[in-house]
Amino acid sequence: MNKILYLTSELFPLIKTGGLADVAGSLPPALTRLGQEMRVLLPAYPEVMRKVKQPSLLASTRYYNQEVKLLETRLPENGLSLWLVHCPAAFDRPGGPYINGNGEPWHDNALRFAIFCLVAVDIALSRLNLNWQPDIVHGNDWQSGLAPALLQLHSRRPATLFTIHNLAYQGLFDHQTFLDLDLPAGLWHLDGLEFYGQLSFIKGGLAFADRVNTVSPTYAREILQVKFGCGLEGLLQHRRHRLSGILNGIDSRVWDPKHDKYLKAPYGTENLEQKSINKTLLQQQLGLPVDSDIPLIGMISRLVEQKGLEIILQGMADLLALPVQLVIVGTGDTHYELQLSHWANRHPDQIKVIIGYNEPLSHRLEAAGDLFLMPSSFEPCGLNQIYSLRYGTLPLVSNVGGLADTVVDADAENIKIGTANGFVLPNQTADDLLATLRRALGLWQTDTWRQLQLTAMGNDYSWRSSAKHYLDLYHLALGDRRGAMG
């Protein structure tokens, strides 16, 4: 049994902007089931404070002249022990965890997540009189990047693991911020936190954690290349012997078409015909022509470049010339929101665009769709294609990262051997998107389609096996640490 301090800046069902929340809400409980003693550290955003039950005070401290309290609570869903960094000056404000109401990053993000990391460091070094010291500190994404960097300055410290969920978000700030945060001067160098003259939070994790991993085996290989490395490929190559990829699992209780609380017509492989009721209901709800013979394509996504919106918009006119309906639920960059809405206004019988974050609708669309669109330019893991597999909504994806690791293309060979479960673009272009879509539509309403659905729904992407890989990684990190301490 190891004691693990798991650092995350979002956690489902309390606060979510993307897949990290889903992972943070489901991996720690899976690791608890494997005998690990987990404490999850999360900023006490107002939304979180509203949802949790009477947290109790564990410790009080101060950083940068701000009062900080460490609070403790448990998640009613699974008993997970949650520690909250309560610092009103940093976290108690309306808006998102990283951006304000105008979609701009909070001006003091560096300070906010430095405070978060300093709490983690003080817990890790047993400075808060908690009677609990982790064996391992497990950070996620740039928001926790300073923790491994600061911890490695100490000889007696826990082992560290840093998980990359998305290398494109790096937590970059100017040099003055590094000075203002009063970070140790020795960390300002090429092999430290400095990145082309800027302060890089994510480098703290990449350069200094005992082990680094990312969320799919393919993305772990891709980020060693210039094309996917976001300028960090050199550092990652240098640390490649400490770098690995573990495919995300999903919370199979939250995402289960048989027991989904948002569905009027739950279904499984044994009553798959029920699935089309969900389609009819959604068509009615959204004001689309109600017709079970028109294939419905769904997309649920942050509307950012990563998610393939460029090629979707390039191919939109041709896509809408096909006999399909398209439903997109998402929020993100304003220019994508506007362009998509423009198409929806011009073709109200074929495309609906719902701007905003909408949990119930995302479940209903997974159930209602025939195809799920996810042609990302890069995708560290991707969870929506996995949810789609589980819902028998065949994913149409690009051939990158976790998409390549989870979706098996319905080519003749894969259909024959029974492994096909979706459609994979040869290249991430508008032409290939349309060609692949036409190929998919050629199989629509055939026996093969049903076979693909059954294969998809039978795939097991629960945490069962992936959580064990994290255990192995924890052991490796502890081994590295022991080795280093002699």
Nearer to ligand GLC, 351 or 404 (CB): 404
CA atoms of 123 and 129, how far apart (whole Å): 8
Q: By CB under 6 A, is residue 302 in contact with ligand ADP?
A: yes
Nearer to ligand GLC, 166 or 350 (CB): 166
Q: Choose, by CB under 6 A, the member of 329, 400, 430, 437 that binds ligand ADP.
A: 329
Which of ligand ADP, ligand GLC, none lies near 215, with the C-beta cut-off 5 to 8 A by kind? ligand GLC
Phi, psi values for residue 303, rounded to 5°: -90, 80
Least gap, CB of 238 to ligand GLC (angstroms): 23
Least gap, CB of 358 to ligand ADP (angstroms): 5
Q: Choose, by CB under 6 A, the member of 8, 160, 331, 350 that binds ligand ADP.
A: 331
Nearer to ligand ADP, 31 or 329 (CB): 329
Tokens encoding 72? 């403790």
Q: Which residues bind ligand GLC (CB under 6 A)?
A: 18-20, 23, 165-166, 215, 248, 379-383, 402
Tokens encoding 280? 């009819």
Residues 347-406 that bind ligand ADP (CB under 6 A): 357-359, 362, 381-384
Nearer to ligand GLC, 267 or 336 (CB): 336
CA atoms of 41 and 118, how far apart (whole Å): 12
CA atoms of 127 and 58, how far apart (whole Å): 12
Q: By CB under 6 A, is residue 263 in contact with ligand ADP?
A: no
Which of ligand ADP, ligand GLC, none lies near 301, with the C-beta cut-off 5 to 8 A by kind? ligand ADP
Q: Choose, by CB under 6 A, the member of 10, 22, 210, 256 that binds ligand ADP.
A: 22
Least gap, CB of 418 to ligand ADP (angstroms): 26
Which of ligand GLC, ligand ADP, none lies near 359, with the C-beta cut-off 5 to 8 A by kind? ligand ADP
Which span sits near ligand ADP by CB under 6 A: 119-127, 266-274, 276-284, 297-305? 297-305
Nearer to ligand ADP, 192 or 382 (CB): 382
Which span sits near ligand ADP by CB under 6 A: 15-23, 287-295, 432-440, 453-461? 15-23
Burial readout 152-166 (b: 16 or more C-beta within 10 A, e: otherwise): beeeebbbbbbbbbb
Q: Which residue is nearest to ligand ADP (CB)?
A: 19
Query: Are the CB atoms for 25 and 248 separated by under 8 Å?
Result: no
Q: By CB under 6 A, is residue 477 in contact with ligand ADP?
A: no
Least gap, CB of 96 to ligand ADP (angstroms): 13
Q: By CB under 6 A, is residue 145 in contact with ligand ADP?
A: no
Place of tokens 């990190």: 477
Q: What is the largest CA-CA distance in the chain?
A: 70
Least gap, CB of 85 to ligand GLC (angstroms): 21
Q: By CB under 6 A, is residue 210 in contact with ligand ADP?
A: no
| Contact positions vs ligand ADP (CB under 6 A) | 18-19, 22, 300-302, 329-331, 357-359, 362, 381-384
